[in-house]
Structure 1
Amino acid sequence: MQLRTWLGVILLTGVLPGDVVPAADREEACERPIPIHLTGESCGPLAPPAISCRVPAEVEGGLAQPNHNTVQRATDIFSWQTFLALNWPAGKVRGEPDPSAPINGPGPRVWETWKEAFEIYLPDGSQPPPWDAREPIPPACAGASKRLVRTAKVSDVVDLKAQALPADGTLPATLKDQQGRLVRYEIRLNRPLFEYIADPASPHYSGLALYNGIEQAKADGVDFPVGSQLIKAAWRQVDEAERPFFHVTEACVCDEVGVDRP
């Protein structure tokens, strides 16, 4: 079954001021971050957090400051900068922001344009399409921005010992909201991680593990490149009155027998 519907995921949008600068200056503001000067005492000199569409490369100071409070503050700022950048409105290229958009602008966020796992681990184990290939949307759901195929947080093809939750049926496999509607999940991988797994042209290419669990990669044989990121999101169907409280998307909801794939 395929169904188009509105779903929402909670974001901390209350701390994301998008109209700090005029529209004409937004692109420059994205590339040249707007500092947010915080009040209060600091245990060490650190650059203030800033509204920017670019993910920081590393924690300021490299976690080497002698004062542990400074290290914690630097880590917190790094985390917030990453959160802001990944939740910036996406541009026309997968995984890239739209520098001309305000942070509270409409549309998919950067992380939503990353590759979904079902785009990488194909049923026949074949080479996945390149990074910039569009996410496949069934004709019955034309106009939807994404396809959701998961109703469980844990896949049954992973190693039970390496999971935070067991996949052996000892815990409920699905979650329902207060209206009795299933929560839908997605797993998104950014470009460095995608290329490590699937792109033969990448120096990090390791080949695709057999999808049906016949020969999954061993933990000591995985060495993700710097910058690899994976996001797991949970979506629930929202009514019109609820939409202002969530980041929403119009999704194609697919229910079909299979392992985390359409």
Structure 2
Amino acid sequence: MKAFAWMTLLAALALPLMAAGPGYPYPLTPNVSGHLLAEVPPQPFAAFPVDNRPYFDYFMWQNFIALMWPAAPGSHGSAYRPDDPAVFGHYFDGRQPVWLGFKTANDLFPQNSDTPIGWEQPNGAAACRNLEQQGRSVLTTGSKMGTIADEINQAFGGPLPDQTGLFTRYEVRVNRVMYDYVRQHGYYNKANWPASGGIQLPASSAEQGEGVLEVKAAWRDLAKVPGPYRQRFFQLEALATVPGTCRTNELSQMIVCDCTPIVAGLVGFHIAQKTPNFPQWVWATFEQVDNLGEDVSTPASMQASYYDPELYKKHPGITRANPAAHPGSSRVPAADDFNPQPINVVRLSAIADTPKPPTGQPDMSTTGLNQQYRQLLQGTVWQHYQLIGTQWPTLPSASPLTPTNDDFGCEDGTPVQAGGVPFPACQLANVTMETYHQYDSCMNCHQGAQRAGADFSWILALRAWVKPAAKAP
């Protein structure tokens, strides 16, 4: 029996029966607010998990808006006038989106046994040897799976050059709840981890407020993008590490690199949030709509960020619908290739248009909610962004260490090992971050961090400091 059938059966047997059925209305109203939602709206019983998708999509769309809300000047992630929709999307007088006030993995894990800086101290552990940061983000990694020494390699693959031949850059940030919790308990040093049971990070709730939240952003260098089209991206003046220049500073044990200034355009965004009802976390990923040129709003004269339709005219044996043509390991460029050939990216799973709306009711599928939110955000840069999908555990009370089962497999053979019986089981990926590994999913990937005792957080699992082994005499 395939994974979907098993999950549907398990969910139907495990959840209490409630009065509901196919086509019930969704009491969800998209709105522009700077307040993060602490919990997913209550869902009625549904025989099929897909029928509850709108609640999770709504939850993450609202939190996407709250994270992109202008922060109060001088704050570290506090929303400015969160009840005033008129301020949304306007970043002047030094304001920036709330999440850019969060601390980076470099701040939380200084790569030695030192205590990380306090939350109110200026962001930005030194990573550039040749330039002062002066408040600019340093886009150092290509993967949430490692450190800045990994430079620009994606998880499970190599780097991603866009259609202009410039590499995609990444960063990971955590909110104050996670930062302070790890800092106060000393979990930035692996010697302080619990001897058994693993770390249990605090969940958000209506009573307790915000819990742990992680975000990961993907940026492209806009240097070769014509001026009129740049306005379709949220832009950031940043510093990017130069491939092949990262070395360990023997005095501080930190890794430092040569950096170069760029104007970065946001092309991908992950959100992971732990709630009390979903201890395996709730996951979502967003993209800028011009990534593949598949959106009706993309100007006909605009080159998509990661897709060139002319490729298939040059190579008639390759078609966009042919997964075999998707870039694989043999086509992944090397990080030290300073003139890489663009990767022609394809999306292997369409954005969901389910559940189908009943007659006379609004379309609350992922594509339908995207239309509603993008209309709501007209006049801001965020009208050019869309939700790719959400993922959540359908059996959150199940063991977080669900054993591997041969019946639970993705199309490429990747086993589904995530705890809580995730929905969807496979193929939730961002084309800018999991370009070469799209059959997997957020929960399945982060199950590895759970097994390492880090409560689904890869940056905690991989960045916590470990005392080096003594050198042989």
1:59-100: CA deviations, max 9, x gaps? 222x3x134677433222212111111111122311211116
Residue number in structure 2 paired with 1:148: 139
Residue number in structure 2 paired with 1:114: 102
Between 1 and 2, higher relative CO (CA 8 Å, sep ≥ 6) is seen in 1
Residue number in structure 1 paired with 2:176: 191
CA contact (8 A) 1:141 1:252 kept: no
The DSSP-based 3-state class of the residue aligned with 1:125 is: coil
CA contact (8 A) 1:144 1:252 kept: no
Residue number in structure 1 paired with 2:6: none
1:109 CA drift (Å): 1.1
Say which is worse superposed, 119-128 or 217-226, in terms of deviation: 217-226
CA contact (8 A) 2:123 2:135 kept: no
What amino acid is aligned across from residue 59 of structure 1 in structure 2? V
1:223 CA drift (Å): 1.0
Residue number in structure 2 paired with 1:91: 72
Specify every segment of 5 or more residues in structure 1 that has no aligned partner in the other structure, as ranges: 1-41, 158-163
1:228–1:258 Cα change, 3 Å: farther
The DSSP-based 3-state class of the residue aligned with 2:131 is: helix
1:154 CA drift (Å): 3.1
Residue number in structure 1 paired with 2:246: 257
Say which is worse superposed, 74-83 or 125-134, in terms of deviation: 74-83
1:19-59: CA deviations, max 9, x gaps? xxxxxxxxxxxxxxxxxxxxxxx724624222100001212
1:179 CA drift (Å): 2.3
1:193–1:180 Cα change, 3 Å: same
TM-score (norm 1): 0.65
Q: Quick check: 1:208 aligned with 2:188? A: yes
Specify every segment of 5 or more residues in structure 2 that has no aligned partner in the other structure, as ranges: 1-22, 149-153, 204-210, 249-253, 257-473
1:220 CA drift (Å): 4.6
Say which is worse superposed, 234-243 or 245-254, in terms of deviation: 234-243
CA distance in structure 2 between the partners assigned to 1:197 and 1:124 by the alignment: 15
CA contact (8 A) 2:142 2:155 kept: no
Residue number in structure 1 paired with 2:198: 221
1:181–1:257 Cα change, 3 Å: same
CA distance in structure 1 between the partners assigned to 2:147 and 2:133 by the alignment: 30
Residue number in structure 2 paired with 1:66: 45
CA distance in structure 1 between the partners assigned to 2:164 and 2:26 by the alignment: 50
Residue number in structure 2 paired with 1:235: 219
CA distance in structure 1 between the partners assigned to 2:78 and 2:142 by the alignment: 28
2:59 to 47, 71, 78: 78
Say which is worse superposed, 182-191 or 66-75, in terms of deviation: 66-75
CA contact (8 A) 2:178 2:213 kept: yes
1:124 CA drift (Å): 1.9
CA contact (8 A) 1:46 1:74 kept: no
CA distance in structure 2 between the partners assigned to 1:96 and 1:73 by the alignment: 28
The DSSP-based 3-state class of the residue aligned with 1:58 is: coil
1:125 CA drift (Å): 2.3
TM-score (norm 2): 0.38
Residue number in structure 1 paired with 2:235: 248
Say which is worse superposed, 148-157 or 246-255, in terms of deviation: 148-157
CA contact (8 A) 1:88 1:98 kept: yes
CA distance in structure 1 between the partners assigned to 2:218 and 2:132 by the alignment: 20
What amino acid is aligned across from residue 115 of structure 1 in structure 2? K
CA distance in structure 1 between the partners assigned to 2:142 and 2:26 by the alignment: 46
1:244–1:155 Cα change, 3 Å: same
1:244–1:217 Cα change, 3 Å: farther
Residue number in structure 2 paired with 1:135: 123
1:175-224: CA deviations, max 9, x gaps? 222222222110101111112211x2xxxx252234xxx99889950211
Say which is worse superposed, 50-59 or 107-116, in terms of deviation: 107-116
Paired residues in the alignment total: 201
Identity of aligned residues (%): 24
CA distance in structure 2 between the partners assigned to 1:219 and 1:237 by the alignment: 44
Q: Quick check: 1:103 aligned with 2:82? A: no
CA contact (8 A) 1:52 1:84 kept: yes
CA distance in structure 1 between the partners assigned to 2:238 and 2:96 by the alignment: 11
Residue number in structure 1 paired with 2:206: none
CA contact (8 A) 1:144 1:250 kept: no
CA contact (8 A) 2:193 2:199 kept: no
Residue number in structure 1 paired with 2:164: 179
1:127-157: CA deviations, max 9, x gaps? 0111111113769345553122224453169
CA contact (8 A) 1:114 1:189 kept: yes
